Amino acid sequence: MASRQVPLWAVGLVSVVLVGTAIAMALSSIAVAGDGAYYLVRILDGERVFGPELRMFGNAVRQVPVLLAARAGVTDTHVLSVTFGLGLFLVPVAAWCLAVLWARAEDRVFAAVAMVAGLCAGTTWFFAVGENVIAVPLTALVAVLLWLPRAWAWPHALVAGAASTILVATYETSLVSSALVVVWAAWRARVTETRPDTIGAAAVAGIAALSIVTALAGVQAGQEKTPDHVQSLLFFVVSLTPWPLYLGLVAIAAIVAALSPELDRTPRIALLVVGSLSAAVTVYGLAPTTPTAFAARGGAPIAAILLQLLLFGLWIRAGRGARDPRARTRGVIDSRWLLLVPILFVAGMAFGNLRALTSWSRSLEAFQAEVARTRDVNVVDEVLPADRRQVVWGWASSSLSLIVRRDPDAGVLADRDPSFVPFPPSTARDQLPDEYVWGG
């Protein structure tokens, strides 16, 4: 059976775009967006991993760089915020790059994985501290490895096991995604004939089962302790916001279908037109902000689960010999150039993030200037212009004030009606040692 392997230059382009965007966003201190400022304050104050127990593994692997920097004596909060950002993106970007690399075994899978990577990066990275930023790429990576047509070597098994282990305590939606992994990995372990494949897939199945137990316990505890949070997550799953994310899913489905080797020219062109137009509108309509990235915590896991289902279906068909080798060979010649669509889509989504960084950075500078201008506690809405409030997150202004201060006696900006009060603004200076200052 002919194999349509994607050239390495295509994998390289997608990887460079993702890595470059992540670095640019980290250098802009995007890590302090949303809950990030409060997370960083707690990490530095206690010099330990911070976050809900249900997401402890995901938080731990991403917080290691900033923890090591703090314990090494770094007190410059600018450097620490950048380090925090690099840590938040390191594992997710590595997972996406590996997934795209191994997906090159077939062009349909490459297109699907690359476009889901671009879609999730474009819609979620402005809330970098969010658990979906790491959970989605790890879920995709495990799915790609389970789909992989060739037998696993030990590196495949180790990567799949490591990714699955982190997912044990990373995100509540593992309750759904891990259920599929249990069935799929156990099936692969049963039908494979190599030792790394058998042991690795069986281990992944067992770890995924543990993820289900952890998620069930976490959701139950969440319902009892923080029902509003659980309801919020469920709301965003069904809210269809931000809309570019869901239109992007339509684009991905159409492009992947257009790459199907069984299609003749006319339906292929029709799907290509629908997919390309949907992708273009998705890129054009994307306006990344912290609120839209937070809202994407519902749609991004859906994208990962749909990707799982696609790859599982392709794996089953391959195992049963359902593909027509003649159709695959026929499709090679006229579908190669379609690979430009997913590459351009990833680039477009990345550009949307980079474009939005400009206004976000200006807002951060304005916020910092107001913190430096006063020695009192002020309401952020009264001192910050309406067009410079992109960094305001409803309840985290006091924490952000501590991160961006240039001296320990700087002022504190507070939110007028915070949805959550981690500490009274009047006690903000007690939350972080005086040596932690921006540029210090």
User: Is residue 69 one of the residues assigned to a domain?
Assistant: no
pLDDT score at 2 = 41
User: Is residue 302 one of the residues assigned to a domain?
Assistant: yes
For residue 379, the tally of other CB atoms under 10 A from its CB is 14
pLDDT score at 10 = 94
Read off the pLDDT of residues 114-135 as tens digits, 9 standing for 90 and up: 999 999 999 999 999 999 999 9
For residue 243, the tally of other CB atoms under 10 A from its CB is 16
For the range 234-239, what are the long-range contacts, defined as Cβ-Cβ under 8 Å and sequence gap of 24 or more? 234/298, 235/298, 236/294, 236/295, 236/296, 236/297, 236/298, 236/299, 237/298, 237/299, 237/301, 237/302, 238/298, 239/295, 239/298
pLDDT score at 68 = 97
User: Is residue 16 one of the residues assigned to a domain?
Assistant: no
How many structural domains compose the chain? 1
pTM: 0.93
User: Is residue 194 one of the residues assigned to a domain?
Assistant: yes
User: Is residue 317 one of the residues assigned to a domain?
Assistant: yes
Read off the pLDDT of residues 93-115 as tens digits, 9 standing for 90 and up: 999 999 999 999 999 999 999 99
Range of the domain at 225: 108-357
Q: What is the mean pLDDT of each run of 10 residues along the chain (440 residues)?
A: 74 97 97 97 94 90 97 97 98 98 95 98 97 96 96 96 95 86 96 93 96 81 50 60 94 93 86 95 95 93 96 87 40 60 96 95 96 93 93 96 95 93 94 92
